[in-house]
Structure 1
Amino acid sequence: MSWHVSPDWLGNAPRQDDFRADNTLPAGWYRVTPTAYSGSGFDRGHNVPSADRTRSAADNSATFLMTNMIPQAPNNNQETWANLEEYTRDLVQAGNEVYVIMGNYGVGGTGSNGPKQTLTAGRVTVPAQIWNVLVVLPEGPNDLNRITSSTRVIAVNTPNSQTVRADWGSYRTSIDAIERATGYDLLNSLSQPLQVALEAPVDKGLTQ
């Protein structure tokens, strides 16, 4: 999943907390309900964070569809991931815009009630790893054309576990490593030389 975080998306709309099934799914598809994770030991972890969409109540409400959720270990969701999401918005408040790409892979995580591989009788997979890529640009037009070999790119890959550390910076990795683990081809709208320059390094910048 990918999304854009900029001042245009941030406002004063309150958190809606209206978790609900996604009724736009095709007929016959399983629709995860708001109570599907109850008692599992896993949080309803947002992909697109609620706080990244505060321009309007409708924007915020859209983040509470269950198709925007994954079973996330509480410590990962409430500490590690929350810190990374807050840092993303701090970058925006400092005059940047951020493109976020987020995903997960593997089967089996460890929540507050111990390890699980699936929920809801096997219909929802508990991921083993949760990753995030941030492309950071100063605010401006023509974003794609402004990405250079010196653009800051942050890649993070965390275990979906209660033993995860709160310091997301300690889980920094390269985009190349995430691509090897997932089979995805990220940043593929960029030229091949630019992809090579941005996807191999591990970010060493500030984390707060």
Structure 2
Amino acid sequence: MRNQLKTIVLIVSLGILLDGCRTVRPSLPAPGTPSSALNRTDNLALGNPSGASTNDPNNYMITRPQYILSYNQSRSTANWVSWHLSPAWKGDARRTNDFRPDPTLPTGWYAVRPSDYTNTGFDRGHLCPSDDRDATSQDNAATFLLTNIVPQAPRNNREVWKYLEEYERQLMTGGNEVYIIAGVSGTGGTGQNGYATALAAGKLVVPATLWKILVVVPAGSENTFQITANTRIIAINIPNNQSAADKPWRAYLTSVDELETLTGYDFLSNVPIDIQRIIEKRIDGGNS
């Protein structure tokens, strides 16, 4: 009997290990969760790429229902923002355009103001887009907190970056859910008024590039997903200048491995290593 029990335990344990090599699952909603809230988790399902916490002012985690970000006090922008896009986040709430300082920043930290962008030649560019969060006015307003905003060259923001944002929503309406991480790298961009390294008397750093990773998974009825060696990964790195818009976003395709080298982050850290090795080196083939 004891040997039979050991065999059962071994089989169950082996099954769990094998499943872990194939599947990554975000936390499920609690029993009784309203249907309107289903598929609204998990904004950090793929892992915390920089190990953000509330202990490091330049890697400071801010958690909201709508997204999670790592904030950099020395730059006055996010390092990265992570969110989950599904139909549960979509609705008919109007764009609030309520750009405002983030009241959750620790006391004594500089909080960027809308006026810091005035006449600078740079747009207030969203990392988590307004149109990804329009189920409610509250959801939409959260995207206008200035910790989710970076100085972005106007044509970059309104053309090539915008078209990439629209494509991620096309993926969603095509029967997928998309797990997204977007962020910035480097210092110095070229806006409508020319090159600049910082705004707001040096407090607000202008990034050199904006990058994004899209993980595309089939929509699941139980708010679960699988990541396999065949999962589609789209990685993009776009220079923060006006001429970036002269090319389509696909001209800026790269690999997750290259973005890890650029940023020093560990993306997709919740994915088993054997699968990471395959999908992180792949450059997307442009499947529709």
Describe the superposition over 1:23-78 as per-residue Cα deviations: whole angstroms up to 9, x where unpaired. Answer: 11111010100111111110000011000001100000111111110000001100
Alignment root-mean-square deviation, CA: 1.0
In structure 2, C-alpha distance between the alignment counterparts of 1:185 and 1:83, rounded to whole Å: 27
Aligned to 2:168: 88
Going from structure 1 to structure 2, the CA distance change for 1:166 and 1:52 (only over 3 Å counts) comes to farther
| 102, 108, 111: which one aligns with 1:22 | 102
Q: 2:250–2:286: 8 Å Cα contact kept in structure 1?
A: no
Q: 1:83–1:166: 8 Å Cα contact kept in structure 2?
A: no
In structure 2, C-alpha distance between the alignment counterparts of 1:143 and 1:134, rounded to whole Å: 17
- 1:195 corresponds to 2:276: yes
Partner of 2:181, secondary structure, is strand
The structural deviation recorded for 1:143 is: 3.6
In structure 2, C-alpha distance between the alignment counterparts of 1:16 and 1:166, rounded to whole Å: 30
Q: 1:36–1:119: 8 Å Cα contact kept in structure 2?
A: yes
Aligned to 1:123: 203
Aligned to 1:111: 191
Q: Which protein has the larger Cα radius of gyration, Structure 1 or Structure 2?
A: 2
Instruction: Show the 5 A alignment for 1:33-182.
Output: 33-140=113-220, 141=222, 143=224, 146-164=226-244, 165-182=246-263
User: Structure 2: 5+ residue runs without aligned partners?
Assistant: 1-80
Q: 2:152–2:191: 8 Å Cα contact kept in structure 1?
A: yes
In structure 2, C-alpha distance between the alignment counterparts of 1:36 and 1:166, rounded to whole Å: 29
In structure 2, C-alpha distance between the alignment counterparts of 1:59 and 1:172, rounded to whole Å: 30
Runs of 4+ off more than 2 Å: 141-144
- 1:206 corresponds to 2:267: no
Q: 2:236–2:254: 8 Å Cα contact kept in structure 1?
A: yes
Q: 1:47–1:68: 8 Å Cα contact kept in structure 2?
A: yes
Partner of 2:116, secondary structure, is coil
In structure 2, C-alpha distance between the alignment counterparts of 1:206 and 1:156, rounded to whole Å: 15
Q: 1:79–1:166: 8 Å Cα contact kept in structure 2?
A: no
Aligned length: 206
User: Structure 1: 5+ residue runs without aligned partners?
Assistant: none
